[in-house]
Structure 1
Amino acid sequence: MNAIEKQLQLQPNRRMSYFLTLLILGLLFIWSLSTLHVDSISNNGTKIAKNIVEGLLQPDWTLLFNATTGGIPYLLIETMAIAFLGTIVGAFLAIPLAFLSASNIVPKPIAFVVRLLLIVIRTIPAIVYGLMFIRVTGQGPFAGVLTMSLTSIGMLSKLYVDVIEDLDKSILESMEALGCTLMEKIRYGIWPQLTALFLSIVIYRFDMNLRDATVLGLVGAGGIGAPLIFAMNAYKWSEVGAILIGLIFLILIVEYVSNRVRTKLVKG
C-alpha cells in the first residue's frame, strides 16, 4: 500500500493545466458568442422561418412521386450517378498517386513532391472546382462528375497512403531481398493485402460524395441541387420539403448498404 501511495505522490499534479485549458476554452466560447447578433432578426425573418417550417411539414407529395425527368426520383438517381461515377474515376486515379506518395514504396523526394501535389488538390473546395468545370464544360452532370473525381483523388490518395504505410515492412524487405521490382512488390506483396481496405475507403468516400453532389447541384453541376435552390429562391417551401425528404431517404438507404458492405469487407 505504501508503494502505491508513493507512486501516486510521484505523479505530476495536472490540476493547474486542466484549469488553464478550461479557462481558455471558456474564453474562446464567450468570444465566439460575441459574433452572434440576435437583434438583427426582424419580424419579417420570423415570418419567413415560420413559412419554412410549415412548408417542410407539408411537402409537395406529387413532386415526390413524379416519374418524369423533372421529378424528384429521377433527380435523386442522377445525383447518385454523379457521385458514383466520380468516386469510381477518382478511386482508380488515386491508386498510382498513393503509391508514388508512400515513403516506404518510393524514394522520399518523389513521395514529398507527390504529397505536395495532393495537398494542393485537397486545399481547393469542391464548389470551386465545380464552378471552374462549369465554365469549361457548361452546366450539367458532366461538370459534377469531373468535380467529384478530382476531389476524390485528393482525399482517397491520402487515405490510401495511410493504409500503405501501415503495412508490414518485413514483406517488402523480403521481396526486395529477392530482387523484386517496384511493380512486382506492388502486384504480389502489397495489393492483395490492400484490396479490402481500399474498397472500404472507396465506399466511405462515395457516401461523402453523395452529399457533396447535392451541394454541387446548387451551382449548376447537375442533380437535385439546382431544383432545391430554385425552390428556395422562389419561397416554394413545400417543394423544398419534398426534395429534402427524398434526399433523407436516399442517404439513409446508401448509409445502410454502405455500412453493411464495409462491415463484410473488414470481417472478410
Structure 2
Amino acid sequence: MHTIEHQLSQEPTRRLSNLATSIIIIALLLWSVTAFNLSNLSENGLTIAKNIFKGIFNPDLSLLFSITKQGVPYLLVETMAIAFLGTIVGAILAIPLAFLSASTIVPKPIAFIVRLFLIVVRTIPAIVYGLMFVRVVGLGPFAGVLTMSLTSIGMLSKLYVDVIEDLDTSILESMESIGCTTFEKIRYGIFPQLSALFISIMIYRFDMNLRDAAILGLVGAGGIGAPLIFAMNAYKWSEVGAILIGLIVLILLVEFISNKIRTQIVRG
C-alpha cells in the first residue's frame, strides 16, 4: 500500500522530468538540423556522386584481381593484417590494465588512476594517433599496427573491467577453503570464467579495427586507405569502385565469420 502511494506521489515529478527531457531532445534535434546547408550542393558535387556510383558498378577489374602489391587483394590482406596484429597486441596489453582498474581486485585509488589513464587514451581519435605514429616511425603498416594497438587498449580494458567485476567470487572462496594456491585459483577459478568473454570482446574489437585500419591509410599508416584517396583525388572512379568493392566484400566476410565464432564462444 505504501509502495503504491509512494509511486503515485512520484508521478508528477516523473512527468515533469520526462517533459523536460523531451523538450531538450527536440531542441537539440532542431539545432542539429541547422547544420544542413544544401546551398553548397553544387552540380559538380552531384556529378562526382554519380561518377562514384558508376565506378562501383564498373570497377577496374585488372586492379580488383591483380596479385601485385598495388592490387586490391594485397592491399586488403595488408589492411586485415594491421587490424589483426593491432588487436592481438592491444588485447594482451589490456589484460593487466583491466585488472589494475578493477576496484574489486585492487585498492580504489589505484583503480581510479588507471581508469583515468584509460579514459585519456580513449579520448584521442585513432586518426590522431595515426598522424603521431607516422611522424615517429615513418609511413607504412608499422604505424598502423601501433595505432590499432593503442586504440584497442582503451576500449578493451574498459570492457574487460566490466567482465572482471562481474566475476563469481564464490568459486574463488570455495577453492581457497580447500587449500588451492594462487596459481590454481587463477588457472581453474578465474581463467575459465573470463577467457570466453575476453575472446568474444577481442573479436568484436577486431571488426572495429578492420574499418579503422582502412581509414588510417589516408594518413599513410599502411593499408588500402591511401590508394583509395589517391584514386579519388585523381578522379579515377573505376579504381575507386574496385577498391570499395573489395573493402565491402572483406568487411562483410569478416563480419559473418566473427559473428559465427563469437556465438560459438559465448554458447560454450
1:83 equivalent in structure 2:
83
- How far off its partner does 1:180 sit? 7.0
Amino acid at match of 1:119: I
Cα 1:218–1:182 change in 2 (3 A) is farther
Q: Is the deviation greater in 139-148 or in 171-180?
A: 171-180
Q: Is 2:236 the counterpart of 1:213?
A: no
- How far off its partner does 1:16 sit? 5.3
Amino acid at match of 1:220: G
Distance 2:100 2:7 in 1: 49
- How far off its partner does 1:85 sit? 0.6
Distance 2:87 2:116 in 1: 22
- Per-residue displacement from partner, 1:118-174 (whole Å, max 9, x unpaired)? 111111111111111111111001111111111111111111110000111323445
Q: Is 2:127 the counterpart of 1:127?
A: yes
- How far off its partner does 1:31 sit? 1.7
- How far off its partner does 1:93 sit? 0.9
Cα 1:106–1:183 change in 2 (3 A) is farther
Distance 1:48 1:188 in 2: 60
Distance 2:70 2:125 in 1: 29
2:251 equivalent in structure 1:
251
1:164 equivalent in structure 2:
164
Runs (5+) with no aligned partner, structure 1: 1-5
2:69 equivalent in structure 1:
69
Cα 1:22–1:45 change in 2 (3 A) is same
Amino acid at match of 2:154: G
Percent identity over the alignment is 73
Distance 1:81 1:8 in 2: 56
2:29 equivalent in structure 1:
29
TM-score of the pair, normalised by structure 2: 0.90
- How far off its partner does 1:41 sit? 1.8
Q: For 1:180-259, list aligned pairs within 5 A.
A: 185-259=185-259
Amino acid at match of 1:149: S
Q: Matched residue of 2:11: which SS?
A: coil
- How far off its partner does 1:177 sit? 6.3
Amino acid at match of 1:263: T
Cα 1:154–1:7 change in 2 (3 A) is closer
TM-score of the pair, normalised by structure 1: 0.90
Amino acid at match of 1:51: N
Alignment length, in residue pairs?
Answer: 264
Computed over aligned residues only, the root mean square deviation of the Cα atoms, in angstroms, reads 2.4
Amino acid at match of 1:30: L
Q: Is the deviation greater in 32-41 or in 70-79?
A: 32-41
Cα 1:74–1:149 change in 2 (3 A) is same
1:3 equivalent in structure 2:
none
Q: Matched residue of 1:69: which SS?
A: coil
2:11 equivalent in structure 1:
12
Amino acid at match of 2:192: P
- How far off its partner does 1:112 sit? 1.2
Distance 1:128 1:257 in 2: 30
Q: Is the deviation greater in 63-72 or in 46-55?
A: 46-55
Amino acid at match of 2:210: L
- How far off its partner does 1:53 sit? 2.4
Q: Is the deviation greater in 182-191 or in 34-43?
A: 182-191
Distance 1:75 1:167 in 2: 41
2:55 equivalent in structure 1:
55
Q: Is 2:151 the counterpart of 1:151?
A: yes
Cα 1:102–1:30 change in 2 (3 A) is same
Amino acid at match of 2:142: F
Cα 1:11–1:135 change in 2 (3 A) is closer
Distance 2:21 2:110 in 1: 40
Cα 1:105–1:38 change in 2 (3 A) is same
Amino acid at match of 2:194: L
Cα 1:11–1:138 change in 2 (3 A) is closer
